[in-house]
Structure formats: structure tokens, C-alpha cells
Chains A and B, each alone.
Chain A
């Protein structure tokens, strides 16, 4: 067990020195997963709202599809996106495979069902009569939606955190569509896999600490927003 302790000390030293490569990997992780989470919010929030409040055929089916999508294995997503972006594949001409953009695409596919599904659950949890009440006070449909979002802000921010959690922690898809190229597509999780494989536990531990700290800070920020008193 001594090497764990040693690894921890070396990790602190690495972090203290501000190792340029480690810093670059961390920033890339934050950028890629932050962007993927934002995009999945942009898609998942309206989609989940539609599934929760809309009345159309196939709604339950789509909802169960989104729920299933929450358990989508990242490696399967990685495979699908790889096939699409492969040089000879249907979107191969875009030359996106093994770029950060490819990782973002894969992570959006992973996070959208999470955000969609939890958004729908958050809104369905509200009393359906609240909608009638808001309309009966003169709200337009858009105003109803915004008011319900505000009313469900706690579970909605939880949905966002779950979305971020699902992509910052995944490794399979990033590895497959990003290729773990040093200085280009290496993110925290793929770097941890690599360093561990090489027996470089100090670097692996340092990267893990960074991953946990990053996740903690992002969630802390979101939790602070979540627990703030509402602006309305």
C-alpha cells in the first residue's frame, strides 16, 4: 500500500508544480464535457418539457425511450459515433473522428437522454392543476413553461448535474471517438486509463484527484444556484 501513499504525494507535487500537460488535459475535459452538457441542456430541456406537458400520440413511447437512453452504455455510443464519423463512413468527409468535436458529439448523445428524462420527471412531479391555475391567471403557453421551469428548478438543476456527471465520468466513448491522442484528444478519464495501464500510479492518482475536484466544483456551483432563493 506504500505506493498509494507515495503516489498521492507525487500527485500533490505534480499538481503543485502545475504540470502543463496535466493542466491541458484538465482544461480539455472541462471544455468538452461542459460544452456537451450545455448542448444536451439546450436539446433535453425543451424535449423533456414537450414529453412531460405535451399531448400527442407516442408520448409514452418516447418517454420510455428517453428513460432507456439513460442507461445507454458509452461504448455503444462510441461505436455508433465511430461508424458515423469513420473516414469511409456517412459523415467521414467532415473529418471529425479523433477530434475533440467527436467527443462532444458522443457525450451529447450520452447526456441528452439523461437531461430529457429527468426534465420530464421533474415537470410531471408538479401538480397538473398548477398549469390550469397559471393559464387561469392569464399566462401564455410560453409563460406557463417558464413558470413551471422556475417552480421545478431544484429537480431541473439535478437533471443538469446528472447530465454533467454522466459525461465527465465516461471513458469508453471518449477513448473510441477521440483516440486518446496526447495534446489533442486526451481527457482526464482516458489519461487515467492510460497511466494506470503503464503503472504510473502517481500521475493516475493526480489526474483522479483533478477529476474529482473538477466534478465537485461544478456541482458545488450548480448546487449553490439550486439552493439560492428564487429570483421571481
Chain B
């Protein structure tokens, strides 16, 4: 299968400490890789590095055959989408939040409208389109955050513990939905999770990090 992400000899030093040291990691197209490990293991750090938001101290990150540098960071970033543990919605309508990344990309208006509609629908939040972000429940907000990422139809989805703030039921619902969406879109994803269950249901492979290093 084609290689989408290739991380070589990656080292990230934060506040004087090596928090990530990864000799090699490849993610193939269509793969859903679960990233597990205790708090502070470097999972979020890896996600941010691949997203080009945290410059590596050493090593290289390749994305779709291109080496990630300062110069192409924006272009490559626009082929990915990031979902954080807390949704980080803007204080505007749900619609505007979902359209946000599409507007950043300056897509034509009709396309923005069509994609926003589609993904609001697919995540079951079309009825909330005109609701303000501040008036959503945690689960609804997380759906908005996912819709916002999926609407970009990215080559790579970076999901950092997207369900950890949710109750068991909401989470089961969302996981089921996400599983369908991932399967249907054939998207490649890197999913940080603390739950074996989540990894088993969503991922095709699991990488465990401990103290910034891969553990077996």
C-alpha cells in the first residue's frame, strides 16, 4: 500500500527534555493507526509534529512523498485536519464552525455550502446548524469538531482523544458513527486514545508510546 506518512529519526525536545524519540513510523494510505500510552508519553507531541505545528528537534517527517519543511508546512497542513480533545469552537454558529476550514482554503462558496451541509447531515447535527457554539452539549460540540475536520476531506485525520470528555453512551454513538465515516471515506487517520476498546473498534493497527519511545 502507498505510504502517506513517513517519520524518520524523529526527536522532539520540549523545555529541555526529550519528550519524543521515534526511529521510524510509517502510516499507509487508508490505515487507521491508534496511538496509545500513558499521560505525558508524547502522543499529542507526535500529532502536532506530523501536523507541522511543532518543529522537530531532529529527524524528518515526510507526507505524501514530500518532506515537511517550514516552506511547505501550510500546503501540507491543508491536506490534514486536526481534532483536539476539547472542540475549540468559535463563538459563532455551528454552520460557521463547520465551514471554517473550507473558508481558510478559499473554496468557492457553493462548494463550501454543499460540503458543510453534507457533513452536518452525516454527523447528525443538521438541526443545530444555526445554534451558537456556546449552546451545545459536550457531545454535540464534539460532533461539530468532527464535522469541521471531515468537511475538509483531508488525506490525513489527526484525532487527539476526541471522545474522552464524553459520557459512555454518547461516546459509543460517536465511535460507531466515526467507524462508518472512516470506512466510507477510506480516510487515513491517526487516533490518540486511552481506551483499548476504542482502538479495537476504530483502528487497523496500534502504536504504544511510553516515555516518548515506542514500546512493544
- Give me the interface of A with B, judged by CB distance under 8 Å: 127, 129-130, 132-140, 143, 147, 150-151, 230, 232
Contacts and interface: CB of A to CB of B under 8 A. Distances in A.
A134 B96 CA distance: 13
Given A147-B90, A230-B92, A232-B96, A135 B77 contact: yes
B78 A136 contact: no
Contacts, number: 60
B82 to A, nearest CB: 3
B104 A139 contact: yes
Contact of A136 (B82, B90, B91, B92): B82
A140 B70 CA distance: 12
A147 B77 CA distance: 17
A130 to B, nearest CB: 5
Interface of B is mostly: mixed
Interface residues of B, number: 24
Nearest to A154: B91
Given A132-B84, A143-B104, A147-B90, A137 B152 contact: yes
A151 B149 CA distance: 19
Contact of B88 (A130, A140, A150): A130
A134 B82 CA distance: 9
A139 B90 CA distance: 14
A136 B148 CA distance: 11
Contacts of B210: none
Contacts of A232: 90, 92, 96
Given A130-B88, A151-B90, A232-B96, A136 B53 contact: yes
Given A137-B104, A137-B148, A230-B91, 17 more contacts: A129-B84, A129-B86, A129-B88, A132-B84, A134-B104, A135-B82, A136-B84, A137-B100, A137-B149, A138-B74, A138-B81, A138-B104, A138-B105, A139-B104, A150-B90, A151-B91, A232-B96
